[in-house]
Amino acid sequence: MKLNTLEDEALMERVRDFDDRAAFAEIVKRHQKIILNFYYRSGVQYDCEDLVQKTFLRLYRSRQRYKKSAKLKTFLFLMARQVWIDELRKRSRMQNLKKEFQSESQDYAESAIGISDARLDMEKALAQLNEEMRLVVELGVYQGLPYAEISEILSIPVGTVKSRMFNALKKLRVFLEGQ
């Protein structure tokens, strides 16, 4: 039994019970990319890795709260969401965030070389969504999580997950068809 053969939950249990840093490093290796892209798709361009670091640090600090019956991925996205909310508060720009990220994304897009048109279109489309819708798309479409887990992570009823997803997909479709 090597660390890289253990399931996420078994690794996290080792972290919780024995402060096993090697097990935690394995968790980081497995999930850093999905968390990095979670922030990237949320519109952050330049300090994604700082937020990834904050997320894993928060996971480590919360290790005693972890229960083996919970999926680690669900627990990790709970942390990522909290880090994201803190970040939004810290920057004190909740109101202007969408606009700011849109322009950040635009600057990046204009200076980027070799990024496909499809990706740029999609980034623009995602930027049309409000934060609530984008999180539902992130967790449901990109991470492929069941609605029950999304409901747990976002603390909203499954019915709300469904309606946000429907509205988000509709908005994305309208935007992309208009391009």
Partner 1 sequence: MNVITHINQFENAKDVEAFKGLVQTLRSLPEIEPSAYLTQRIMNAVNDDGNSQKDDMFYRSSRNPSLKPWLGAAAAAAVVLALFVFRSVFITQMHVANSTLSDNEEWLARFQEVDGSWNPARHGGAKVYQPALTALSALALYQAGSDYLPQVELACNYLQKIQQRNGTFGGEGRESFYNQAIVTFVLARTTVNATERDALQLACSAITTAQTVEGGWDYVPDSEGNAAITSWQIQALAAARDAGVPDLDVSIKKGLRWLRSVTDDRGAVSYKRDSRQMSDTVSALTAETLLTAGADFPELSTAGHRVVEALKNKCSSSENNDLYRDCMSVRAFKSAGEIDTVALLKKRVFASASTADDDQWGKVGGRLYMKSLYSLTRTF
Single out the segment in contact with partner 1 by CB under 8 A; choices: 74-82, 85-93, 94-102, 159-167.
159-167
Task: Round to whole Å and give the CA distance between 66 and 81.
Answer: 16
Amino acid at 122: M
Contact 149, 138 (CB under 8 A): no
Contact status: 156 vs partner 1 (CB under 8 A): no
Cβ burial, residue 3 (10 Å; 0-12/13-18/19+): middle
Tally of CB atoms within 10 A around 41: 18
Residue 146, by phi and psi: left (phi above 0), alpha (psi -120 to 50) or beta? Answer: beta
Single out the segment in contact with partner 1 by CB under 8 A; choices: 52-60, 88-96, 97-105, 127-135.
52-60
Between 94 and 115, CB nearer to partner 1: 115
Binding letters toward partner 1, positions 60-79, x by CB under 8 A: xx-----xxx----------
Between 80 and 92, CB nearer to partner 1: 80
The total number of residues shown for the chain amounts to 179
DSSP state of 140: I
Residue with tokens 């635009």: 106
Contact status: 86 vs partner 1 (CB under 8 A): no
Single out the segment in contact with partner 1 by CB under 8 A; choices: 18-26, 77-85, 92-100, 103-111.
18-26
Residues that bind partner 1 (CB under 8 A): 1-3, 5-7, 10, 13-14, 17-25, 28-29, 32-33, 36-37, 40, 48-49, 52-53, 56-57, 60-61, 67-69, 116, 118-119, 122, 137, 140-142, 144-148, 158, 162, 165-166, 169, 172-173, 176
